[in-house]
Amino acid sequence: GAGVSQTPSNKVTEKGKYVELRCDPISGHTALYWYRQSLGQGPEFLIYFQGTGAADDSGLPNDRFFAVRPEGSVSTLKIQRTERGDSAVYLCASSPTGGLNTGELFFGEGSRLTVL
Amino acid sequence: KQEVTQIPAALSVPEGENLVLNCSFTDSAIYNLQWFRQDPGKGLTSLLLIQSSQREQTSGRLNASLDKSSGRSTLYIAASQPGDSATYLCAVRTITDYKLSFGAGTTVTVRA
């Protein structure tokens, strides 16, 4: 596609529910990142994929969070047993290259998650 | 761990005035620095990318400088317009890492 696409744009759920957020990166981009942004803050790193593998998941806050990228393109961020503190905007970004040669990152519009 | 600070947190100027946004980072061993714009409720739009070997980058009314040794970057926006109202974020990537570390942003309001 022309840009990074994220769905849903808004998700309201109840505490304890399971949520999936999807990211469709720019075609051909091998590197994919998930970030989380709370109100008034800069984005915080969650996980980085190079191809199909998670090269760095050190930013995932706990084991309720998991992400996959099975075919090296679309990625899904999965959150189990959601808590109110998970409420934030989840941003996805992609880059044409990865690793230490990563250049410019292109971000999607984000998925706004609200946990009631 | 790379720490990125943006000062001021908010800025309000009359239309036509030049804008100066500051970004500082603690680890000067960077690979590149990227400036983004974020409108309310929207994602991030890349404005300028400066590689560590560069001193500045320009795009239209925007100019970003980089002083790696002092850990600073400045974004200049000439002749501001109300449409420039947004939050501007600075992000840095260190040479041993591949993830961007972000500042909290500067929220700019340009008054007509």
CB–CB contact A48 B99 (8 Å)? yes
DSSP A52: T
- Strand A106-107 relative to strand B4-7, pairing: unpaired
**What residues in A contact B4, CB-CB < 8 Å?**
42
B:5-64 residues touching chain A, CB 8 A cutoff: 31-32, 34, 36, 41-46, 49
Report the alpha-carbon distance of residue A34 to residue A77 in Å, rounded.
8
Written as tens digits, the pLDDT of chain B (112 aa) is 899 999 999 999 999 999 999 999 999 999 999 999 999 988 999 999 999 999 999 999 999 999 999 999 999 999 999 999 999 999 999 888 778 899 999 999 999 9
Residue A110 near chain B (CB below 8 Å): yes
The residue among A40, A116, A108 whose CA lies nearest residue A77 is A108
Minimum Cα–Cα distance from A92: chain B residue: B43
Distance from CA of B56 to the nearest CA of A (A): 16
A7-30 per-position pLDDT tens digit? 999 999 999 999 999 999 999 899
A32-75 per-position pLDDT tens digit? 999 999 988 999 999 999 889 888 999 999 999 999 999 989 99
Task: Give the pLDDT band (50/70/90) at residue A104.
Answer: confident
